[in-house]
Amino acid sequence: MAKSFENIDVSLGDQNLSFTAQAFWVGTGGDLAVEDTEGNQAIIKNIDNGMFVPAAGVVKVLQSGTTATNVIAFSKQGVTE
């Protein structure tokens, strides 16, 4: 069975996801730096504590630019079930 969620800890460096994320839970707010399936990078700025953030197509969370913590990535399965 495929994973439906994955804890993210950028203190260990960039985090390659084992699936394509569809959304993130951000426990402690800040910025979330991400990379999509085509290598495009973006920083989602000023996310509040306790927010779900839609982010279809994300395969990596980048250490540089990410200040949010207690982040969980969800696959489509994890978001819809």
The string of pLDDT tens digits covering residues 18-75 is: 999 999 999 999 999 999 999 999 999 999 999 999 988 999 999 999 999 999 999 9
pLDDT band with cut points at 50, 70 and 90 for residue 1:
low
Question: What local confidence, expressed as pLDDT, does residue 81 receive?
Answer: 43
The confidence band for 2, taking pLDDT boundaries of 50, 70 and 90, is low
Computed on alpha carbons and rounded to an integer, the radius of gyration of the chain in Å comes to 11
Q: What pLDDT was estimated at residue 45?
A: 98
Q: CB atoms < 10 A from the CB of 56, how many?
A: 12
- Sign for the CA dihedral angle at 65, 69, 73, 79 comes to negative
